[in-house]
């Protein structure tokens, strides 16, 4: 996959120089994460991380409760 930040050009003739990676669209190359699928992945990751943090916090609270019983 070509790096879109490079400034290398491919010349087929002396009159036409096309930047590498810019042939997909007028504004630049298409990316794998463009569109609504990327947003869905971000929201799914957010839900998973939030649930994981709550489970971890619950485990820490359980440890404090169990440690408090030994007093």
pLDDT score, position 3: 63
What's the rounded Cα separation, in Å, for the pair 11 and 5? 18
Higher pLDDT, 51 or 41: 51
pLDDT of 45 strictly over 60: yes
Average pLDDT of the chain is 75
Q: Which residues have a Cβ under 8 Å from the Cβ of 24 and sit 6 or more positions away?
A: 30
Global confidence as pTM: 0.47
Tokens representing residue 20 in the block: 């590498």
20 Cβ contact list (under 8 Å, min separation 6): 2, 6, 8, 9, 10
């Amino acid at each position: 996959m070509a790096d879109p930040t490079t400034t290398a050009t491919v010349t087929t003739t002396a009159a036409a120089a096309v930047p590498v990676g810019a042939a997909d669209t007028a504004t630049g190359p298409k990316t794998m994460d463009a569109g609504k699928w990327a947003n869905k992945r971000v929201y799914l990751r957010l839900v998973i991380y939030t649930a994981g943090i709550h489970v971890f916090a619950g485990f820490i609270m359980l440890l404090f409760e169990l440690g408090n019983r030994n007093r």
